[in-house]
Structure 1
Amino acid sequence: MPSTTDRPGGSEDPFAVAEALQSVVRDTEAVPVAGDPEPETRDTVVVDEEMLGRRETVRVPGQRRPPERTRGAPLPVAVAFATLWAALLTYLPVAAVLGLARTLEGAGGLAGAAHAGAAAWLLGHGVPIGTSIGSLGLAPLLLTVLVLWRLQRAGLHVTRAIGARRSGSTGSALLVALCVAAAYALVGGVTAQLTDGRGTAVSTARAASDFLLLGLIGALLGSLRGTDAVTTLARRVPVALRHGVRTGLVAAFLMVGAGAAVGGLSVALGGSDATKIISAYHTGVAGQAGITLISISYAANAAIWATAYLLGPGFALGAGTIVRITEFSVGDLPTLPLLAGLPNGPVGGAGTLLLALPVIAGAVAGWGLTQRLRYGRAHAWGPGRGSGADGPQPPWSLLIGAGLLAGPVAGLLLAALAWCSGGPVGDGRLAQIGPAAGSVCVVATIVAAISVVGGAAAARTLSHQRRPKSRK
C-alpha cells in the first residue's frame, strides 16, 4: 500500500510535521527487497506547501554534537610565515619602483635594483642610509604606512593561526606581538647586513631596533583586534578618558585630511610645472614612471607638512628656510614634481582663512563626540535607522572633560607624525627638512582642545530631543 508522510487527521505532532517537510516531491524509484521476484515500488508523495505554510513552524530537536576542537598551528611556524610574507609584500613593490627609476641613470640589472630596493625599504622603516652626499634620513611615510598595515595583518593572521581569535586574552595578544616583532627585527638586521657596503652604509643595530619598534606597533594592533582584547581594555578605562582618546584621534586625522586636501589641490594647480619637471629628466616612460612613483611615496610627508602649514608653525625645506602662511623663505630646491605645489610666497589676508580648516576639523570631531554619546557608536554623526529615540543629553562635565583630553591626544599624535615626516637629505643645505615637532604639538593641542569643546557644546545646544512616535 502506498505510504504517506503527511500528518494524519491534522495531527499537531512535531515529528509528524518533520516527516511531512522531508517528503518533498520525489521521482518514483524501485527499492529492491530480498526474496521478492520484483522490486517494490515507492509512490511519489506530494506535499501541500500552501497548507504547510499556514501552519505554525515547528522546531525539531536535533542531536547535539560535541564541539570540534580546532588545533592551532605552532606559534614559531605561524610567526615565521606571517612575518616573512609581510616583509616580502612590502619589499617587492619598492624594488620594482627603484628598478624603473634606475633607468634614469642608465643602470639596470636585477642585482642593482635589489640592492637599491633594500636600501629604500630600510629607509621606509626610518633607518638612515649613508651615501656619498651624506646621511639620507627622509623616510617615505607612504611606505611606512604600507609596512604597518602588513604587520597588522601579520599579527591578525598569527592570532587566528594559533587559535586565539576572539579569546579576549591580553596575554595572547602581547605574546603574538612580541614574537612577530622579534622575527621582524631579525629580518631587518639581516637586510642591513646585506645592504651595508657598495655605496651605502647602514647600521645593523639601528635597523634591528627600528624594525622591532614597527613590528611591535603593527603586530600589536592586529593581535589586539584578533583577540578582541582591545574591547576588554577599553572597558577598564574611565569613560571621559576613553571618549577623549577616541575624539583626539579623530580630530588629528581630520586635520591631516584637511592638509592632504590642500596639498593635493596645490599640486593639481601646479600640474603644468610638475609635468615640466618630469620631462626635464629626459628619460623614457619607465624612468618617468619611477620618478613619479617615488614622488607619490612622499605624498604622506607632504600631507603632514601641509597640516603644519595650516596650523601655523609651517615647515622647513633646508637649513634657515621656513614655509608658513605669513612667511616664505626658501633657497634653491631640488627639481622634484612634489615641490610643484609650493606657494610662491606669503599668502594675503584671504589666505589666512586657511587657518580655520584645523579649527573646523576639530569642531567636527567634537560634534561627533556629542552625537556618539546620544545615539551610540553606530550613529556617531546623527540619528539613523535603528537609533530609536534619543538617549539623555550627555552631561557637560563629560563633554568638556573629553574635549580637553582630546587636545593633548591630537597634539601628541600630530607631533609624532611631524617628527617622522622630516629628516636630512645629505649633509649640505638640505640637512633639515620638515616641521618642528614641538611647535606643532603645542599649537595642535590648543587648537584641538578649543575646537573640540566648541563643536561638542554646539551639538548639545543646537540638537533637539527626539521622542518615540506614539501609536494611534
Structure 2
Amino acid sequence: MSFVTPDQPSRPTEVGPRPPGRPGAARRIPAPRTGEPPRRRPPLAVAAGVAAAGAAFTSWLPVAVVLWLFQLSEGAATVPAAVRAGLAGWLLGHGVPLTTDAGPLGLAPLAMTLLAVWRLTRAGVHTSRAIGARGSRSPRRALVAAGAVGVAYAVLGVLAALLVAAGGPGVSPVRAGVTLAVVGTLAALVGAARTTGVAHLLAERAPLPLRDGVRAGLVAGLLLLGGGAGAAGLAVATGGGDAADLIGAYRTGVAGQAGITLVSLAYAPNAAVWSASYLLGPGFAVGTDTAVRTSEVSVGALPAVPLVAGLPGGPVDGPAGALLAVPVLAGMVAGCLLARRVIRSAADEKTPLPWAPLLRPAVLAGPVAGLLTGLAAAASAGPLGGGRLADIGPVPWHVAAVATVVTGVGVLLGAAATRVLSRP
C-alpha cells in the first residue's frame, strides 16, 4: 500500500527502463501498430443528410412550440396540428409564401430565418469535417459539401410542403424545394468555406483595398441595422402601455399571450430593418397606400400586434431629430476603424501613408453597405394577407440607394478625419 500525503505527493509513473540499482524488469511499451486501416468516413449523402436534418429540426422546434401555445389557448392543441403549423411557419421563415383564406402570407419572421441560416452554416461545417475536407483549401470540396446540404435540405422542404398542404394552408412543393435548396446551399457554403480554408484563401488572393472596403462596408451596414434596432426598441418601450393593452385584448390566457409575445419577438428583426429604413429616409409601408417616413406618417387600420405600438405618430420633430444622424454616424465609425487599421499597417511597415490606400476602400464601403441593407430590406418585406395588407415593409432598392450614398459619405468623412487628426 502506498501512502500519499500533502507533504509526500505521488511520484509520476515511470516509463521505460528503471534507474540503475533498482530491482525489477523494465516496463515494455507496445510499439505503434503499422498497417492499421484508416478511419472510415461516412458517405457524403449520409453526412449531408444528417447535418441538414439536424439544422431543420433545431429551427423547426421553436416555431412549433410557439404555434402550439396559440392552439393551447384556443383549446385545440393536438400533436398533428402543432407539427403541421410548425412546418408552415418553418417554411414561411425561409421565404416560402403560404396561401390562406385571408390571402397570401409571405412576411417572413427574420428571427426564425437567422436561426435557420446559423444552423445551416453549422451543417456546412459538420459536413466538411465528415468528408475530410477540413483545411484542404479546395473550392471544389467546399462546393460539394454545401451542394449536398442544399439538396438534402430541399428534400426536407418538399416533404414539409406536402405535409402542410395535406391539411392546412396551400404551399407549392416546387417553390419550397427550390427556395430551401438555394438557402441551404448558400448558408452551408459559408460554413464549408471557413472550415476548408477557402475563405482564407480568397481573402489572401483578393486585393488589399477590396478586403478593406468590404470589411468597412459590412461594419457600416451592421452598425446601421443595429442603430435601427435600438431606435425600434426605444419606440416600443416608450409605447409599452399600448403594447400591453394590445396583448391583453386578446383574452387568450397566459399561454396565448406568451405565444403573441413570442411571435412579436420573431418579427423584431423585421422591425429593426424597417426602423433603419425610416432613419435613412425612404421609410416603409404598413399596407397599401400607406407611408411611414420622417416627413410623413400616413397609416390606416392596423393589425392588433404589439409592434404597432412603436409606430411614430407623426413627422419627426424636436430632440427625436437627432436619430436621423445615426446612418452618417454609423459610416463615420466604420471609416474611423478603417483608417486606424490602414495607419497601423503603414506604421508597422515604417512607410509613409498616402491618401490613395485609404480613399479607395472608403469609396468601396458605401456600395457594400447599401447592398447589405437592401438585401435585409428585401428579406423583411412581404404580404400579410390580401387587400390593403398586401404591401408591408420598405422598398429594397430605395433603401439600398440611400444607404450607399449616406454610409459612403460617412465612411469617407470618418476615414479622412482620422487620417488628418492622427499623429504622424
SS of structure 2 residue aligned to 1:243: helix
Amino acid at match of 1:440: V
SS of structure 2 residue aligned to 1:272: helix
The equivalent position to 1:435 in structure 2, one of 370, 385, 394, is 394
The equivalent position to 2:229 in structure 1, one of 229, 238, 260, is 260
Q: Distance in 2 between matches of 1:223 and 1:464?
A: 42
Amino acid at match of 2:153: Y
Render the CA deviation track for 1:125-174: whole Å, top value 9, x for unaligned. Answer: 10000000000000001100000000000000111111111111111111
- Structure 1 residue 290 corresponds to structure 2 residue 259: yes
Partner of 1:401: 360
Of Structure 1 and Structure 2, which has the larger fraction of its residues in helix? 2
Kept in 1: contact 2:84–2:168 (CA 8 A)? no
The structure having more radius of gyration, on CA atoms, is: 1
Q: CA deviation at 1:65?
A: 9.9
The equivalent position to 1:208 in structure 2, one of 153, 177, 188, is 177
CA gap of 1:108–1:237, structure 2 versus 1, over 3 A, is same
The equivalent position to 2:374 in structure 1, one of 397, 411, 415, is 415
* Aligned pairs (5 A) from 1:312-461: 312-375=281-344, 392=351, 394-461=353-420
Amino acid at match of 2:283: G
Q: CA deviation at 1:217?
A: 1.3
Among all aligned residue pairs of Structure 1 and Structure 2, give the percentage whose two residues are the same amino acid.
50
Q: Distance in 1 between matches of 2:351 and 2:22?
A: 71
The equivalent position to 1:195 in structure 2, one of 161, 164, 179, is 164
CA gap of 1:390–1:307, structure 2 versus 1, over 3 A, is farther
TM-score with structure 1 setting the length: 0.81
Kept in 1: contact 2:342–2:358 (CA 8 A)? no
TM-score with structure 2 setting the length: 0.90
Partner of 1:304: 273
- Structure 1 residue 277 corresponds to structure 2 residue 236: no
Partner of 1:186: 155
- RMSD over equivalenced CA pairs, Å: 2.5
**Matched length:** 403
Q: Distance in 2 between matches of 1:416 and 1:448?
A: 16
Q: Distance in 1 between matches of 2:357 and 2:174?
A: 46
- Structure 1 residue 462 corresponds to structure 2 residue 421: yes
Q: CA deviation at 1:315?
A: 0.4
CA gap of 1:303–1:391, structure 2 versus 1, over 3 A, is farther
The equivalent position to 2:52 in structure 1, one of 77, 83, 91, is 83
Partner of 1:120: 89
Amino acid at match of 2:241: S
Q: Distance in 1 between matches of 2:185 and 2:105?
A: 25
SS of structure 2 residue aligned to 1:196: helix
Q: Distance in 1 between matches of 2:84 and 2:405?
A: 45
Partner of 1:379: none
Q: CA deviation at 1:106?
A: 3.0
Kept in 1: contact 2:284–2:293 (CA 8 A)? yes
The equivalent position to 1:243 in structure 2, one of 212, 218, 233, is 212
Q: CA deviation at 1:286?
A: 1.0
Kept in 1: contact 2:229–2:276 (CA 8 A)? yes
Amino acid at match of 1:413: L
Partner of 1:144: 113
Q: CA deviation at 1:429?
A: 0.8
Amino acid at match of 2:362: G
SS of structure 2 residue aligned to 1:103: helix
Q: Distance in 2 between matches of 1:367 and 1:65?
A: 58
Render the CA deviation track for 1:368-401: whole Å, top value 9, x for unaligned. Answer: 111222336xxxxxxxxxx996854543112111
The equivalent position to 2:202 in structure 1, one of 212, 215, 233, is 233
Q: CA deviation at 1:279?
A: 0.9
Q: Distance in 2 between matches of 1:304 and 1:25?
A: 61
- Structure 1 residue 99 corresponds to structure 2 residue 58: no
SS of structure 2 residue aligned to 1:320: coil
Partner of 1:224: 193
Gaps of 5+ in 1: 1-22, 32-39, 44-62, 377-386, 466-472
Q: Which has the higher contact order (CA 8 A, sep 6+)?
A: 2
SS of structure 2 residue aligned to 1:115: helix
